[in-house]
Structure 1
Amino acid sequence: MSDFTVALSTAPAAPAWGENTRLSFSETGATIHLSEDAAPERIVQQAARKLDDLSLRAVALTGEWSKSLQWAFALSYTRARNPGSIIWADNEDADDLAREYSALLFTRKLVNDSPEDLSPETLSMRAASWLKELGGDNVSYTITSGEALNEAGWIGIYNVGRGSERPPAMLELDYNPTGNADAPVDAVLVGKGITFDSGGYSIKSSEGMLTMKCDMGGAATVTGSLGLAISQNLQKRVKLILCCAENLISGHAYKLGDVLTYKNGTTVEVVNTDAEGRLVLADGLMAATETGAPLIIDAATLTGAASVAVGPDYHAVFSMDAQAREKMLSCASAEYERFWPLPLEPFHKDRCPSPFADTANSRPMKGGGAGGASNAAGFLARFVNPQGKGWIHLDLAAAYNGSATSEMPVGASGIGIKSVARMLHEF
């Protein structure tokens, strides 16, 4: 049986297929009809979604395809369950696309898996095992979990995760291709790994909780990014820190009104247990800062406010370092991934005041109030160097689709892995 072929054409479809149709069929496959008055990536993505609905086992891209259009097809064609395989167009981009697609599939599967199958420790082990497989002896790691987190002073991860019977965990992984144990660390990636988020005592609605297996999308994204960079023969030393926990309710769970004292002396009043992501990331950012790395990128499905601001198509970018922010945006543009800057100033550190601590973890109102995404970034800014030099915070509004759209399948998107990988190479 021959492969189902998909070709591109700038010619319109035959009139029998309907006026302005973008997809027509033949005995051997389909043709996507591009148009001068519409973005080609969007046309390809919409056609890929229609083809994906046919549950094809495999498609072969034939004819003249640019790398960006092949990637656009892959993003939209690859459904969450039993995805069909793709045979890339026969050009010089096939090997690069295969590496990128492998990282995309790993990232998406990690997010899409059932929360019952992905405990905090399991998330840490799966990330570490995959990167070890790619990086071999250049990769080493440790996992700290349960009471050992509290003893080590990682009180954010510990407190958010102590309500669950499955212990919280912190993965610290070192990719060091230099062969020198004393080599400086070039970059650190930090990921929010909340494997399920009930909201804690600030409990979510059933509808709001349904997709909360995706709340470890930040951890998956930075893991996928590092894995992609390793497969691209990255020659820089990079550390990965995943902050993993289940945010559940029990007699052991952390509570509203608790005050947490972090390693750097910052005290935090908990006014919303559903603002847990920033509490775990604070630990990861302190660990990252201790390395002295000139670049720190954290990624998290952190706030609904970011989604309100930029919608489901963009990731929000925050940084007090203009040069780092612009470089991140430039990398995203080069990879055809949508990133958009939102405000972050030093005064945002003080936008969640508390009479009982240095700061609260949010504002005691729905969504954290106006500017909630910037206020969350301001909270995180307390845990990096005071000027925020070299630090970039990504609020991943485009990480997950609760339902399929005309351009993207339901579930994890994997958007961002290519941009962060490029950033590791170029910063």
Structure 2
Amino acid sequence: MLRAEDNRFLTESGPGTGVGELLRRFWLPVLLSEELPEPDGEPKKITILGEELLAFRDSRGVVGVVDQYCPHRGANLWLGRNEECGIRCVYHGWKFDTDGRCVDMPTSYPDLNAKDHIRIKSYPVREWGDMIWAYMGPAGDVPELPALEMALVPPSHRYVSKKWQDCNWVQALEGSIDTAHFTFAHLAFEKEENEILDIKKHFVNPLARVSTDHMRWIAEDPRPVIKVNPHEAGLVVAGGRLTGGDNIYWRIAQFLMPVHAYAPSAMPGENIFGQSFVPVTDTNCWIYTYAWNPERPITQAERDAYDRGNGVIAEVDEDYVPLRHKGNDYLIDRKLQKTKSYTGIRGVSEQDAAVQDSQGPIADRTKEHLGPTDLGIMHFRKVVMEAARALEQGTPPAQLKHQDRYAVRSGACVTSKTKDLTAVMIERFGDPAGFVGPPRIAAAE
């Protein structure tokens, strides 16, 4: 458990807070590229880390992320006209470019050059992997973008979406690196093969050949041994389950500082799933969800399946709100709960959201009782809190020097009981961190 002051420190993300300032030192996704589809199109209100901001794509196609309010009289710039490389306030016509500079001030005399002395808050922006990223930290310390493999592969090899969630970002991310909860939260308890196949379909590539052995091992061993390996970009969190023989079935997750996590599901050749957890306020977050395949394009059938909800990707409406959410009790089916699954909720993403939201807007970690399968969670908290406290003392996060080491993969494999996690990672990925480097196909397309 955590002390109350530590729980506040871990979960607060606003300006001036310890973890909030840590998050601001990294590039964070703030929108999908598809949310700003055209130059001079409709601007988009966004709230990130408690800050009310405005995003717009200007006449050149360049995206700006700026303060939402005009500095003249406080009118909301979302009402403004997006025109000729700037957003114009409809109250008195002040106009601002993507860098926050005032480029026109009709209410002032031209010879005063008053506009040259007015700026609004703006943040550096990049488009990367079909997402719009912003850097909200000190102006002189802009780091490189993280080399996430999903952004390195060609667009045809990835699928990107997002979903809203009604809880603090930390408990949502903790659920994603918890490799033990699958036995109850996601697995059907009927033994018939068609039921096992149905659950498997919702977690990995629906077109891949399914091994019922993997589901059986998860069902029969609810107490995986947890091993954690730190690396330059974050943590490997692996859960090993007995297979009934001389082997161990490993499910290997990744945590990448400060908000990214990869699901421990993909066998060789299958699509890999990842998530990025971005605080809106301290009590809700956007979760950017994506799948990619380093070897081949994502098929149309797979994309259609993801649109309907699959694995960490939720079925969402036009505003990216899941169709099964807190407001409608995730459409829980009590009959299904008695006959098919422990949750009675359809969809892995929705099952995760239900249990995470149920912990409260901000989980009270002073009341929890952690056990052996929570080792990855403990390490995650330690890494984040130590980095935030070091930053308060003037030491920047070490991961900012290793953005190339973000090109890692998660996955699953079966190995001998005699191999430790380092040997498993080297056997599965060729590197104890799961590092793969830029995919070979990136240069070919």
**Bigger RCO (CA 8 Å, 6+ sep):** 2
TM-score normalised by length of structure 2:
0.25
TM-score by length of 1: 0.26
The structure carrying a bigger helix percent of its residues is 1
